Structure 1
């Protein structure tokens, strides 16, 4: 269409010289000059600012040569409207405003150079092109709003997916820990029930406690799936302050666990606090299930801008098919928790024997 318009404008200037040209303007100047006003629009995609701007600059320059030519060729009016629209539709607001100024200024120059202009045309002609510019601007705003809405929808979808992954991880941690505890205690009770009923009763009591804790944790997690605005009477999520209770429940098994704290304890960001607890819980659960260890040590170190967590046991370390190794979902979950906060997690066998999980969780001011 642009090429057709350029050809049509050249033919109109060549065939209707008396109607479109001022006396004294030769056709050999006007005919090749007129298409030059239209043709820059061909480059509008590659040069979205310069191409429509060139339309107005060339048109204003051509009107200084022949004031009647630009206003008499209909294709040039259409090219000016298209250029004004494109300038209003620019993504860069500064370029768009510059385009408006150039459009109004060039339209005023063309009107001034037209020998038949009237006073009212200084308002009407620039006003028409200003309306075209505003149409482009309105379309750009609408497109931006649509893009913003789409971006918000995608962000909400990503947040929903992240929340599902978090809940799945929490469910894995809760179920794996408590079910493992109950399995170990049930096995211990089966072994000693005949010769030591008192010890068997203690093991069964630990199973009961662990099952109640599992139900409470599951109740809290399932509560996250309720609609927003529902009354929330669930217990708060555990943090490092609850490690004592966790260790006490594990000490009822055949695994002895010690906890040491270095540095000055301080309030932690909620999500960091929960993640630190869950990492210790998962590491001890893996030790209980797979390591065959008799002792584990949990070390918390409070550094100025991070929390270091270390869980070391004296077991046999990872073996094929074990969640204690790199392929287990438990270890993947711990890595995901560390990565969520920009932390670093390492896990592997110790040179002197045993297995260690170490993680550093940043705790900057203002962290969530």
Structure 2
């Protein structure tokens, strides 16, 4: 910053600027008192200069006390008129005081000051026998201009404050929106990681437990089981790398396609290899789905089949996918024993609603095959959140004739004819 810029910034400081205003007004107002000797008038005594100084000194505090500044200056001007001291062409201190009240006092005070000034000017002009129409016009125009300039300054300052408040509110809104996006993305990644880990690890555990059983009597079958465990683990690692890549780079999510309903055949085959017979039925035309619906449908079926593997015991499962109308309907049904242990506190008929939680807080782990309700997990909650974000719903609960069912409805956008 240059020296001139520093000096300008210092001069424009409110206190310094007001002191300069008071000095300039004093110099202009004191001129008539310095000229009487040239016109043959008696010299002005010291108290006359003090009276002019009294008019100008309050201007130093005009911003902090605009009303009191105007009152003190008005009294000093009235005293000067009564003692017959030489007066300047215009009451400069009074003009600055009126401007200050209009600019810095409350609105009602500014209007009252304008009215009182108009009345005082009228009284002075009426009392003065030498006043003519020109005096009326000039004085009222000058004082009205001072008041209007002050009111304009007030309006500009208030608009600037409103703009600052709007900008601050906009910043808060943007920050809140950014935080919301971060939280949503964090929850999305958490759901994806839960679905990937729960599904693949469950398959690996089931297959690993089956390995020692088939090893003595069917070594070739055991080799297939261990190969399946290896393939499942590699697939889990690949999807985990993809999810973790989202946390490192912005474009990592686009390196590999997200799973969708086109992968349900492969999913069902993997579950069959793990020991759970699965039948997949697709009804309607398999038109391309929106990315969010496609991924959510796959994850809901994946989570439901994972729970079948973990809790249903010896069972069969049926997966149904229906494209009818403007809604994609999913259902995963099993005839296992997991539902036999459901008591009064289990997941109800509407175990997952709009909020993604059951009426009694039972989560992803559902009910075990031994009939005990384990600690609440994230599976059912995650399915409910996925459906809710798309405007759909998920229903999970025991079937009347035994087993467990998960049904989901995901709305589809209108398709052009």
Common topology (TM > 0.5): yes
- 8 Å contact from structure 2 (residues 387, 393) kept in 1: yes
Residue 357 of structure 1 is matched in structure 2 by: 406
Contact 2:200 / 2:233 at 8 angstroms: preserved in 1? yes
Equivalent residue, structure 2, for 1:323: 365
Count of matched residue pairs? 296
**In the alignment, does 2:154 pair up with 1:128?**
no
Q: State the SS of the aligned residue for 2:410.
A: strand
The structural deviation recorded for 1:185 is: 1.0
State how 1:226-237 maps to structure 2 within 5 Å.
226-228=248-250, 234-237=255-258
Structure 2 counterpart of 1:268, from 289, 293, 301: 289
Query: Cα–Cα, structure 1 residues 141 and 125, in superposed 2: closer, same or farther, change >3 Å?
Result: same
Deviations 1:132-160 (A, max 9, x none): 11111111111211121122112111211
Query: Compared with structure 1, are the counterparts of its residues 61 and 129 closer, same or farther at alpha carbon in structure 2 (3 Å cutoff)?
Result: closer
Which residue of structure 1 aligns with residue 195 of structure 2?
Answer: 173
After the TM superposition, which residues 15-34 of structure 1 pair with which residues of structure 2 at under 5 Å, given as runs?
Answer: none
- Asked if residue 147 in structure 1 is aligned to residue 169 in structure 2, the reply is yes
Radius of gyration: which is bigger? 2
Encode CA deviations 1:201-231: one digit per residue, 9 max, x unaligned: 22112111111110111011001101336x6
Deviations 1:16-56 (A, max 9, x none): 98999xxxxxxxxxxxxxxxxx9xx99xxxxxxxx94x666
Equivalent position of 2:397 in the other structure: 348
Which runs of 5 or more structure 2 residues have no equivalent in the other structure? 1-64, 82-100, 124-135, 343-361, 368-372
Q: Deviations over 1:56-89 (max 9, x none)?
A: 66666767766659xxxxxxxxxxxxxxxxxxxx
Report if aligned partners of 1:291, 1:324 keep a CA contact under 8 Å in 2.
no
Contact 2:394–2:406 (Cα < 8 Å) also in 1:
yes
RMSD (Å) for aligned C-alpha atoms: 3.7
What does the per-residue CA deviation read over 1:284-315, in whole Å, with 9 as the maximum and x for residues that have no partner?
00000111142111111224332111111111
Q: In the alignment, which residue of structure 1 is the partner of 2:226?
A: 204
**CA offset at residue 266 of structure 1?**
2.2
Tell whether the 8 Å contact from 1:254 to 1:294 is kept in structure 2 after alignment. no
Q: CA deviation at 1:14?
A: 10
Instruction: Give runs of aligned pairs for residues 20-169 of structure 1, distance below 5 A.
Output: 52=107, 117=139, 119=141, 123-169=145-191
Q: Please report how far the alpha carbon of residue 234 of structure 1 lies from its aligned counterpart in structure 2 after TM superposition.
A: 2.6
SS in 2 for 1:315: coil
CA distance in 1, matches of 2:253, 2:189: 17
Q: CA deviation at 1:119?
A: 4.3
